[in-house]
Amino acid sequence: MLPRLIPLGLGRLPAAEPDRSRAILRLLDQALRAERALGRAGHWTYDLNRHIGLMQAFKAERARSRA
């Protein structure tokens, strides 16, 4: 599901687990900021379902990295 929300290339993520988790969180945060900006601007490409999916993925990844 994650590749549908944010673009993940083969060489884009670090190999080490803590670094990989931080990189995924950073990418999700950037995508969330962009989606929120679209929503605030009332842009026609804003997608509430994508926003919800990004938020759920961000929360799940944050909880996984803390455990």
Position 13 scores a pLDDT of: 66
**Tokens (6 digits) for 48:** 């509430």
Residue 9 lies in a domain: no
Please tell me the pTM assigned to this model.
0.80
Residue given tokens 């962009």 in the structure block: 34
CA distance 60 to 57: 5
Residue 30 lies in a domain: yes
Residue 24 lies in a domain: yes
Q: State pLDDT tens for residues 11-47.
A: 666 667 778 888 888 889 999 999 999 999 999 999 9
- What total of structural domains would you count in the chain? 1
More reliable by pLDDT, 1 or 43: 43
* Structural domain that includes position 52: 17-66
For residue 6, pLDDT beyond 90: no
Residue 2 lies in a domain: no
Residue 8 lies in a domain: no
Residue 38 lies in a domain: yes
Residue 3 lies in a domain: no
Q: State pLDDT tens for residues 49-59.
A: 999 999 999 99
Question: What is the full DSSP assignment across 6-31?
Answer: S---TTSS-SSHHHHHHHHHHHHHHH
